[in-house]
Amino acid sequence: MNGTLITNSIAIGEIILCVVALSCLLLRKQGRQYKVLCLLIGFRGLFDVALLPLYMFGGYGIEKHLAYRLYFYGFWSGYAIESLLGLWLIYSVFNLAMAPLQGLKKLGRLVFCWAAGISLAVALFSALTPHLTQMSFIVNFVSQLERTQSVLTLCLLLFVTFAIRPMGLTFSSRVFGVSLGLGMQATSQLVSAAWTAHFQGMYTTINAATGIASCVILLLWTTYFALPEPKRRIVVLPTTSPFLRWNQISQALGDEPGFVAVGGIPPELFAPAELEIMRRASIKMADQPKVVMPQSQTA
């Protein structure tokens, strides 16, 4: 079995797995809850179907230089879109995981938006090098975006794994399954990015390895969505739990404050009934004998 045959089989296998995973998600009626995951898998499936003729018939039915150029631009544009969808998916998984802790969810969303915005800006500006070419811009932008996205994904996976109990989840929950798949994808991308420096060409071991990793992740997601999900547990936290405390603090953050009038209020602002209550109260206070406080208490 030669390298080309393996790569071709992986490419076709990925398209089939995309269809299976998407069907599983939709049949389980999870399309609304995991709409970004559906979009990502659907986009990858379509992207693969579009690239398949170029890849299979480049140099055979289509002139190979033209086929490679089309493949190159199609591949990197699709990759950039997929990276942005990946960021959106991390955000949506975080929202699903944090559903019971609304305060922390609000705070986390704010932090995430800043982190994602800075990642995008850093990726864009680091791609603008002095001797800018189309190739270097695309590759630098995408590699930087991929690296920051992978780091964010691993942070999310660590958070979901270690804070799984306060969120009412288990390791069989779909939120954890999606996070685990994303984490495996991030690690594989980081490892393969370090490895690709030693390879040149299309039919390499690294390409076959990343293809297999992609298929394994799709299989993992299919398994999680095919199996019934355990119900989310009622979140019971001790009163001393830092999650509870920070959730309460976060819920209060950013709320509109109340206002108290402290002086200089004209009497016209009050209703007649309020004025009457105040008048009676002041008469009552004037009639009461003054309480002489003991020296020790007044001091």
Q: Which of 110, 121, 128, 139 lies at the binding interface for another protein (CB under 8 A)?
A: 139
65 binds another protein (CB under 8 A): yes
Select 55 or 247, whichever has its Cβ closest to another protein.
Answer: 55
DSSP alpha helix (H) spans, the chain: 3-27, 35-57, 64-97, 102-127, 134-162, 174-195, 205-226, 242-252, 272-287, 295-298
Token pair of 272 as six digits:
């007649």
Count of residues near another protein by CB under 8 A: 75
Q: Which of 143, 173, 222, 250 lies at the binding interface for another protein (CB under 8 A)?
A: 143
- From residue 72, how far is each of 25, 45, 85, 202 by CA, in Å? 31, 17, 20, 11
Select 30 or 192, whichever has its Cβ closest to another protein.
Answer: 192
CB of 157 to another protein, least distance (A): 6
End-to-end CA distance of the chain: 96
Question: Which conformational region is residue 171 in: left (phi greater than 0), alpha (psi within -120 to 50 degrees), or beta?
Answer: alpha
- Rule CB under 8 A: which of 10-29 touch another protein? 10-15
60 binds another protein (CB under 8 A): yes
Buried b (16+ CB within 10 A) or exposed e, 279-294: eeeeeeeeeeeeeeee
177 binds another protein (CB under 8 A): no
Q: Which of 23, 199, 242, 275 lies at the binding interface for another protein (CB under 8 A)?
A: 199
Stretch of 5-13, 104-112, 234-242, 259-267 contacting another protein, by CB under 8 A: 5-13
Token pair of 227 as six digits:
């199996």
- Rule CB under 8 A: which of 69-128 touch another protein? 69, 71-73, 75-76, 79, 82
CB of 249 to another protein, least distance (A): 28
